[in-house]
Amino acid sequence: MSICKLHPIKFMTITLVMISVSTFLLHTVSVNAQTNWNKYISVDKTPKQKNFIDLLFELNESVSKSREHQNYYKKELADSKQDTTPKINRIVSLRDGGDIFYLYLELLDREQTITINVYNMLGKNVLDVYKGRPQPDSIPYQIIVSGPPSLPNGVYLCVVTGKNFRLREKFVISRR
């Protein structure tokens, strides 16, 4: 009897049974790789049944190989996410805190002397913030704009100068 001559309901029933059996066998193979196939399948197998079982076993092997490849590539991706960017002298951020601005730096050489100054847009040095050895990266430098001398509203440049570098960041003072 060919598949074409089967009644649609019988065909669906056979298909569902085959899917159920294949799901059970795949689960069994994934749980225990040393499965005794004779326990689940009758001894008098037809060539089609043997092919079906072989296909299921090959499918399980390809799934496990696929998982191995996925785990390998996940590990490669995790390794590549590590920060490999070369560290350079830079201003990480200049944050407004009202009357105080917080300057975060990332510096290579901690043995050199740095100076931090604030300039107006005319190029005049209006505030000396810091001179000395750099603090750790996690500690901000405080630029107090309300104390003597009090800086008026406007645009300013924060300039950090070291032995062989010069960094600058623009910021705005805007009070009501």
- Torsions phi, psi of 50, nearest 5? -60, -45
User: What is the chain's Cα-based Rg?
Assistant: 36
pLDDT digits (tens, 9 = 90+) for 60-107: 666 666 667 677 767 766 666 666 667 789 999 999 988 899 999 999
What the block records as the tokens of 2 is 């060919």
Which contacts qualify for 56-64: CB closer than 8 Å, 24 or more apart? 56/22, 56/25, 56/26, 56/29, 57/29, 59/26, 60/26, 60/29, 60/30, 63/26, 63/30, 64/30
Phi and psi based region of residue 170 (left: phi greater than 0; alpha: psi -120 to 50; beta: remaining): beta
Q: Could you give the 3-state DSSP secondary structure of residue 81? A: coil
What is the rounded average pLDDT for all residues in the chain? 77
pLDDT of residue 47: 54
pLDDT digits (tens, 9 = 90+) for 127-164: 999 999 999 988 999 999 988 888 999 999 999 999 99
**Report field, pTM of the whole predicted structure over 0.85:** no
Measured from the Cβ of residue 156, the count of other Cβ atoms closer than 10 Å reads 20
Q: Which domains does the chain have, with CATH numbers?
A: 3-80 (no CATH), 90-173 (2.60.40.3080)
- Torsions phi, psi of 175, nearest 5? -110, 160
Distance (Å, whole) CA 37 – CA 26: 12
Answer yes or no: is pLDDT of 58 > 70.
Answer: no
